[in-house]
Amino acid sequence: MARKLRVWYPGATYHITARGNRKGNLFRESKDYHKYLSLLLQAKKRTPFILHSYCLMPNHIHLVIETIDHSPAQIIHYIHSLYARYFNNKYDYIGHVFQDRYFAKLIKNWKHLMDTSSYVHLNPVKAKCSITPQDYQWSSYRSFITMKDDKITDKEKLYDSLGEDPHQKIQFYVESKLRIKDWEMPR
């Protein structure tokens, strides 16, 4: 039986997740994280998209992307096939690196986008990989709250909707969106 086609249209925004095969680690050392991030950057040039936020956990990834002219399937296939080739060559493995196909949840509106971005940035805290989101190196959170260009994340859409003053934008995001006690998967 054929798989159900995913909803896609230019301008659609998705929360994309993918896990390592058999829940195994996708990233074993910092070079692996750097490789995945470089592939994200490559993919943005080859199949342009907007990356609102990301978090690379040891055994899974979170990406919040907005499509332009390419479907999420084209984007993720490009990144994951190259990463799987890199990973298998480096660690002398064969077979699947990612478990199943990636999961993509369509983001419905601005609030859903903000909640999802918060969820992604809080993932390392919830998983006890770090005490605060800014302590975790493999997430877009630090560049988001410092407004520094990380050359991967496109923060303008989220920033523009948070007000005029740059410091207020950051404060609003940190205080009203990253409440650890209220943390749950956005619907």
**Cα separation, 74 vs 68, whole angstroms:** 12
Backbone angles phi, psi at 24, to 5 degrees: -75, 165
Q: Quick one: pLDDT at residue 58?
A: 96
Q: Quick one: pLDDT at residue 81?
A: 96
Q: Quick one: pLDDT at residue 146?
A: 80
Q: Quick one: pLDDT at residue 185?
A: 56
State the pTM of this model: 0.89
In this structure, CATH architecture of domain 13-182: 2-Layer Sandwich (3.30)
Q: Quick one: pLDDT at residue 147?
A: 73
Q: Quick one: pLDDT at residue 87?
A: 96
Tokens (6 digits) for 89: 């060559």
Q: Quick one: pLDDT at residue 30?
A: 97
Tokens (6 digits) for 152: 């991967």
Q: Quick one: pLDDT at residue 164?
A: 67
Long-range contacts, 145-148 (Cβ 8 Å, 24+): 145/170, 145/173, 145/174, 146/170
Q: Quick one: pLDDT at residue 2?
A: 66
**Cα separation, 33 vs 52, whole angstroms:** 18
Tokens (6 digits) for 41: 């950057």
Q: Quick one: pLDDT at residue 145?
A: 82
What is the total residue count of the chain?
A: 187
Q: Quick one: pLDDT at residue 128?
A: 92
Sorted by where each begins, the domain ranges of the chain are 13-182
**Cα separation, 78 vs 70, whole angstroms:** 11
- Which residue type does 116 have? T
- Which residue type does 177 have? K
DSSP per position, 112-174: HHHHHHHHHHHHHHHTTS-SSGGG-TTBSHHHHHHT---SS---HHHHHTT-S-HHHHHHHII
Query: Mean pLDDT by 10-residue block, N- to C-terminus, for the chain (187 residues)?
Result: 77 96 93 98 96 96 97 96 96 92 93 89 92 92 81 80 69 61 54
Q: Please, what is the end-to-end C-alpha distance for the chain in angstroms? A: 28
